[in-house]
Amino acid sequence: MTNTVLVAIDLSHPEHHADILTRAQKLAGMDGASLAVVTVIPDFGMSIVGTYFSEDAEKRALKEAATSLHAAISGCLGAPEDKNITHIVRHGTAYQEILATADEVGASLIVIGAHRPDFRDYFLGPNAARVVRHAKCSVYVIRS
């Protein structure tokens, strides 16, 4: 039995949210699992571009991401469902944060989207591929 289904969404691609969230909701519903949704924003301080942002830029970005995450979930699944979902906003490297979150919430399934491949990453996008390779649980990849 699945305890938690972790869904990873990229807020910069809202056109894929509905497919990913509705599929994850169905998968969680089949096992009576709870749903947790994570989004990851880049860690501003870890790169050379971090010096170009104000000190509170990262805090503001995290707050805006949390607001956007609630809006995305409510827009796709409805406000009543949004109240029953754990919302997680992380910052750092996407695949590392997704994997860490999966461990923290005890996920037994990760649902993640993958863009259509180009020549460099023919089978999966780089983040989805790393999540698939390194996850300790099953991973359900949804092609967009």
As for how many domains the chain has, the answer is 1
pLDDT range class, residue 43, cuts 50, 70, 90: confident
Specify if 124 maps to a domain.
yes
Q: Which domain holds residue 92?
A: 6-143
Region of poorest pLDDT, from 44-48, 59-63, 81-85, 86-90: 44-48
Question: What is the arrangement of strands in the sheet containing 109-114, beginning at the earlier edge strand?
Answer: 86-91, 34-41, 4-8, 109-114, 138-143
In a domain, 39, yes or no: yes
Query: Domain holding 77: CATH number?
Result: 3.40.50.620
Q: Which residue has the higher pLDDT, 139 or 44?
A: 139
Higher pLDDT, 110 or 51: 110
Residue 27 has what pLDDT?
Answer: 95
Q: Give the other-Cβ count within 10 Å of 65's Cβ.
A: 18
Q: Is residue 1 part of a domain?
A: no
Q: Whole-structure pTM over 0.75, yes or no?
A: yes
pLDDT above 70: percentage of residues in the chain: 83
